[in-house]
Amino acid sequence: MTTVAAILKHKGYSVFTISPTALISEVAAILNEHRIGAVLVIDHANQLLGVVSERDIVRSLAANGARTLEMTAGQLMTRALHLAHPDTTVAEAMQMMTAGRFRHLPVVDHEALIGLVSIGDVVKARIMQQEATVESLTAYVTGSS
């Protein structure tokens, strides 16, 4: 079974992080510049505090208007995070994300942040698993190797 570690090995371990004092206007610029959907919020001791996603920004814009851009990441971030570990399977990650209705899953190993997977990463890995299974079964049924 494919794990989150395999996804990170393929996509890389790079994670964009910001401090809780970063302005949402800065967060939006980072999201746009790097074409990503979320950044993780960490403190000066590299402790994971939360995540700010495009969704968080849009919801705040709807509620608070342009004032949102002057808010800080600490004010807007989602604090209740679900975490994955390197040995979390793709199916488990997909189930967590679907049930919790979130799109970004931080990956920690021994309490250290090692990566971030998105729902797109998880779906891509799941599709690759399914394609490999179909190819294997087709080869078995047709007698080719």
Architecture of domain 4-142: Roll (3.10)
Low-confidence residues in the chain, pLDDT < 70? 145
* Contact status, residue 116 vs residue 38, Cβ threshold 8 Å: yes
* Contact status, residue 133 vs residue 108, Cβ threshold 8 Å: no
User: For position 117, what pLDDT does the model report?
Assistant: 96
Four-point Cα dihedral 117, 121, 127, 130, nearest 10: -30
Residues 134, 137, 139, 142: is their CA dihedral positive or negative? Answer: negative
Question: Considering the entire predicted model, what is its pTM?
Answer: 0.85
Domain residue ranges of the chain, discontinuous segments joined by +: 4-142
